[in-house]
A and B are shown apart, each in its own frame.
Chain A
Amino acid sequence: MRNDDRIPGRLIAVEGLDGSGKSTQIHLVHQWLQGLGLRVFFSEWNSSELVKEATRKGKKRQLLTPTTFSLIHATDFADRYERQILPMLKGGYIVLCDRYMFTAFARDAVRGCDGAWLRNLYGYARRPDITFYFGLPLEVSLGRILDGRPSLKFFEAGMDLALSPDITESFRIFQGRVMAQYEAMTDEFGFTRIDATRQIHDQQEVVRDFVAERIDLARFHLRARP
């Protein structure tokens, strides 16, 4: 996972539990950078058109094992990475990723996949210049999801792990384990922790300050040469 410094682009990823508010935050960053007139590109986890159908089918029929679940997401990532993320980075864009390889490291490890195997699987991909981790107490994230959207999906709730026959209970246990994985990765990958219990606007301010401090934004102006 060595980064090539000749690549002019910069990569920002957000990670965190469902209900941590990370998608809202990266959306606001996107708006901000666009408003500044910068070259910016947004990519979302599990969104490659080619792989979508297979993923949908596998999930619907509950056909996936921990290994194929992991591989199908790795395929989706490779497709997006090689066709969009990497070319954009080479072309001098700021690339924003709503979830990156760390989502796979956390979820797949909970499903029993080996950490070294997972790190190899994504080993070719560039590490983000900034990874924001939106941390919050488990109960708060659970509350946000369970209050707002009562219908949980099978794999999202970790039902394949047979943690509990009750889907809500399964979701609680699964999310708790995913969180433990994230916490354990914080130092390994140098996550920048954001307190996700704060007001959305306040979090965004911290995020923007950090981005502006770490990345020379003027270099990414549409009028500037990459």
Chain B
Amino acid sequence: MSTHRCYVQPPPGVNPAKLTGTLIVLEGPDSSGRSTQVSMLKAWLEQQGYAVVEVGLKRSPLIGPELEQAKKGNVLSPRTMSLFYATDFYDQLENRIVPALRAGYVVLADRYIFTLMARDLVRGADPAWLESLYSRAIVPDAVFYLQVSPRNLVERSLKAHASLDYWESGMDLGLSHDWLDSFVIYQRRIRAEFAKLQQRYGFEVVSGNRSARVIQQDLRGRVGRVLGNGGEQKGAQR
């Protein structure tokens, strides 16, 4: 059982050394199949006898509803939005992730600080400001970034929703009047920010341009290795 640390120092009242669980993060854009992969991993881990808690963004009871409302209205400045998300993140970190890790759970995070940072960086946030903002986050045991080409994302997004999401298309940035063009430009920029974040925070890139089943096999192998149970037994076969 490994313990944990925070990037710079823990939030007041949190002792990361007492957190014996495992924090696994899956990052990736909408329509990358990320959430499907998380639920499949959860079921698999539970079958293996691990207690699993799933967390995500925008789910804190504190400000989740207000965030939804603010997004619809599109009236918040990028910085206000950024801080709103940070509040939501730390609320979940302290009230869900930390207690679960303390109790020895495997915590599967459907996105973490990296998505939040990438979105803000694309919108011109100061990297040092952001880094400090999230410096109280717990360093995950592993971060997997599900990378999907913008072309594939468009296809999947249209297939699933018959439309593109306003925010996932970066329409607030005024990149193009054409939603599709804007979507592609925006997703490329997000991807470029992720590449920079990867250098800094070191996460594993997993190709999402494959079938859900193949991606899941790949992830199981990686997660198994993190848990040190030789997930190869079931995971590594293709």
Pick the residue among A51, A64, A71, A124 that contacts B79 (CB under 8 A). A124
> In terms of DSSP, what is the predominant structure of the interface of chain A?
helix
A103-127 CB contacts (< 8 Å) to partner B: 111-114, 116-117, 120-121, 123-124
Task: Check: B87 CB closer than 8 A to any chain A CB.
Answer: yes
Contact A67 B66 (CB under 8 A): no
Contact A67 B9 (CB under 8 A): no
> In terms of DSSP, what is the predominant structure of the interface of chain B?
helix
Q: Which of A17-25, A74-82, A194-202 contacts B (4 or more CB under 8 A)?
A: A74-82
Residues of B within 8 A of A54 (CB): 62-63, 66, 87
Contact A68 B62 (CB under 8 A): yes
Residues of A within 8 A of B9 (CB): 114
Per the CB 8 Å criterion, the residue count for chain A at the interface is 30
Residues of A within 8 A of B217 (CB): none
Number of A-B contacts (CB under 8 A): 86
Contact B83 A63 (CB under 8 A): no
- Assembled-state Cα–Cα distance A50/B87 (Å): 14
Per the CB 8 Å criterion, the residue count for chain B at the interface is 31
Q: Which of A51, A71, A112, A120 has the most CB of B within 10 A?
A: A71
Residues of A within 8 A of B75 (CB): 50
Task: Check: A144 CB closer than 8 A to any chain B CB.
Answer: no
The 10 A-B residue pairs whose C-beta atoms are closest, nearest first, are A112-B12, A75-B83, A120-B132, A82-B77, A71-B87, A67-B11, A54-B63, A66-B12, A79-B80, A78-B80
Chain A interface (Cβ < 8 Å from any Cβ of B): 50-51, 53-54, 57-58, 63-68, 71-72, 74-75, 78-79, 82-83, 111-114, 116-117, 120-121, 123-124
24 pairs from A and B in contact (CB 8 Å cutoff) = A50-B66, A50-B70, A50-B76, A54-B63, A54-B66, A58-B62, A63-B62, A65-B12, A66-B13, A67-B90, A68-B87, A71-B83, A71-B90, A72-B62, A75-B80, A75-B87, A78-B77, A78-B80, A78-B82, A79-B76, A82-B79, A114-B9, A120-B128, A120-B133
Chain B interface (Cβ < 8 Å from any Cβ of A): 8-9, 11-13, 61-63, 66, 70, 75-77, 79-80, 82-84, 86-87, 90-91, 94-95, 126, 128-129, 132-133, 135-136
